[in-house]
Amino acid sequence: MNVFLARQPIFDRQGEVVAYELLYRGGAVENAGQRGARATAQVLLNTFGTFGIERVTGGKRAFVNLTRSLLVSEYATLLPAAQVVIEVLEDVEPDEAVVGACRSLVHQGYTLALDDFVFQPRFVPLLEVVQIVKVDLNQIPAPELATQIALLAPYRCQLLAEKVETQAEHQTTLDLGFDLFQGYYFARPSLLQQRREPTASLAVMRSMRHVLTATQLDEMGAAIGADLALSYRLLRLINSAAFGLIQEVSSVRQALALLGLVAVKKWLALILLTEVGSDKPVELLRLALTRGRMMELLAQNEGKPRAAQAFTIGLFSTLDAFLDQPMAEAIAPLGFPEENVEAILHHRGPLGRLLAILLAYERADWPAVAAEACSLSLSEEALTSAYVAAVEWSETTFGAWE
């Protein structure tokens, strides 16, 4: 396999995910910043062949970087036009061959985007062809964004803001008229906003603590049975496609007997987390699910209880964003064991180091991923397989709420 492959969401103005950019690196022996033809061809081969595009993007479009050589050789025509957006990299010179290849692709029904764009007159021929222009907020100072937008206005392209990492940046780009937004701003707590009324969240947090600290099936059954809504959500989830059970589970007692205390605690924690974040973007829940499942998969060789603990750590690594609180405050009411607290807050201990790898993987910080993976004797294949499986699982599980 020899490839790292991750995805980053792209949102519209309504906050809905419309696509994912594929982030990749072609192997530890290659330059971490390399985005050449070989690495591109490899990631495309894996995405559309080995992994399957549906598994990686959940049915949404994939933004894929293509180098000059792949553009002019018409390699892109091997990709399904309805499923991809082809990104022309910022270092591709807009010569006659490149512009001609882009015109041909658009004529064949492909959507094209200019990556990391800063306006220069020589790019005008491409601006007359492409449909999307990506503007990296790290490359253009905020006071200059309006000028860039004015220069792009005559070409009627959709504007996509990249590296949107805070709610303030998201609001600024919304106000400036950007159409699409890329980044993990949705996964960061909005600490400067007025805190929401805490009563409902505190009630859910109390239930969450009871779930996480229960030690007996009878104790857990009594707690679930006293909450009709919670019982309904649990049974609905267990009977969803995420479990693939042959027989229908019709009672909480049956669910506990079938799955056991460890598994039920995991699923109840997931349900309660969705209640805490009911007003948050749905992509945050997808992210929490993916983190939890990837952690669980990487820890499975240590036994079911350890894997469930890893799932919980991954799941609750997003709790600060759900509650708009610093992480230390967010997890304090949960009664976590010290190992979990150290893992989430400081990435200490074996599970904390797994979380650190996961977060680096999510950012496509491939040098950090490779270094940590080597220290923990994790292969690139194991990491990428776990990530893709976690993404696929999160999409399936998320369907139980839709």
Write the pLDDT tens digit of every residue in 204-250.
666 666 666 666 667 777 767 666 667 777 777 777 766 667 778 77
What are the beta bridge partners of residue 160?
A: 134, 180
So what's the pLDDT on residue 285?
Answer: 86
CA distances from 385 to 5, 305, 380 (A): 9, 22, 8
Residue 103 in any domain: the answer is yes
pLDDT for res 201: 55
Query: Do 131 and 222 belong to one domain?
Result: no
Domain annotation covers residue 192: no
Domain boundary among 129, 158, 187: 187
User: Could you give the CA distance from residue 254 to residue 368 in angstroms, rounded to a whole number?
Assistant: 44
Same domain, residue pair 210 and 122: no
> Looking at the structure, do residues 164 and 121 belong to the same domain, yes or no?
yes
Q: What is the CATH number of the domain that holds 314?
A: 1.10.3210.10
Residue 122 domain flag = yes
pLDDT (0 to 100) of residue 2: 57
pLDDT at 204: 64
User: In terms of DSSP H, where are the helices of 46-191?
Assistant: 53-57, 68-72, 96-107, 124-127, 142-152, 167-175
- 11 phi/psi in degrees, rounded to 5: -110, 155
Of 61, 348, 333, 8, give the one whose Cα is nearest residue 198.
333
Q: What is the CATH number of the domain that holds 106?
A: 3.20.20.450
Sign of the alpha-carbon torsion through 44, 47, 48, 53: negative
H or E element that contains 279: none
Instruction: Compute the distance between CA of residue 277 and CA of residue 201 in angstroms, rounded to an integer.
Output: 9
Looking at residues 126-141, what average pLDDT do you find?
93
Whole-number pLDDT of residue 30: 42
How many structural domains compose the chain? 2
Tell whether the model's pLDDT for residue 161 goes beyond 70.
Answer: yes
Please say which residue of 128, 154, 187 terminates a domain.
Answer: 187
pLDDT at 297: 95
The last residue of a domain, from among 131, 156, 187: 187
Residues 220 and 167 in one domain: no
Residue 195: inside a domain: no
Is 159 inside a domain boundary? yes
* Rounded average pLDDT over 120-134: 93
Q: Is 325 among the domain residues?
A: yes
pLDDT at 228: 67
Same domain (yes/no): 390, 286: yes
Residues 258 and 209 in one domain: yes
Query: Where does the pLDDT of residue 66 fall: very low under 50, low under 70, confident under 90, or very high at 90 and above?
Result: confident
- Give the C-alpha distances (Å, rounded to integers) separating 366 from 3, 28, 51, 344: 10, 8, 19, 21
Q: Is the pLDDT at 200 greater than 60, yes or no?
A: no
182 lies in the same domain as 223: no
| Same domain as 177, residue 239 | no
Instruction: Kindly state the average pLDDT of the residues 310-328.
Output: 90
Verify that 362 and 390 share a domain, yes or no. yes
Backbone dihedral angles phi then psi of residue 109, each to the nearest 5 degrees: 100, 10
Residue 8, pLDDT score: 93
Q: 35-44, 86-95, 100-109, 298-307: which has the minimum mean pLDDT?
A: 35-44
The alpha carbon of 225 is separated from its chain's Cα centroid by a whole number of angstroms, namely 34
In a domain, 334, yes or no: yes
**4-11 and 61-66 strand pairing:** unpaired
Q: Nearest 5 degrees, angle CA 65-CA 297-CA 60?
A: 35
> 108-112, 262-266, 297-301 — which is least confidently predicted?
262-266
Q: 357 with 299: CB under 8 angstroms?
A: no
- The answer on 386 and 241 residing in a single domain is yes
Percent of all residues in the chain with a pLDDT value above 90, rounded to a whole number: 37
Phi, psi of 137 (to 5 degrees): -65, -20
Please give the share of the chain, as a percent, with pLDDT higher than 70.
82
384 shares its domain with 248: yes
In this prediction, residue 257 carries a pLDDT of: 76
Higher model confidence: residue 390 or residue 202?
A: 390
Per the structure, the complete domain to which residue 397 belongs is given by: 200-401
Mean pLDDT computed over 326-353: 91
**What are the residues facing 182 on neighbouring strands?**
10
- Tell me, what amino acid is at 235? L
Q: Let me know whether 131 and 104 are in one domain.
A: yes
Asked if residue 194 belongs to a domain, the reply is no
Q: Report the alpha-carbon distance of residue 370 to residue 378 in Å, rounded.
A: 9
CB 265 within 8 A of CB 292: no
Evaluate if residue 35 carries a pLDDT over 60. no
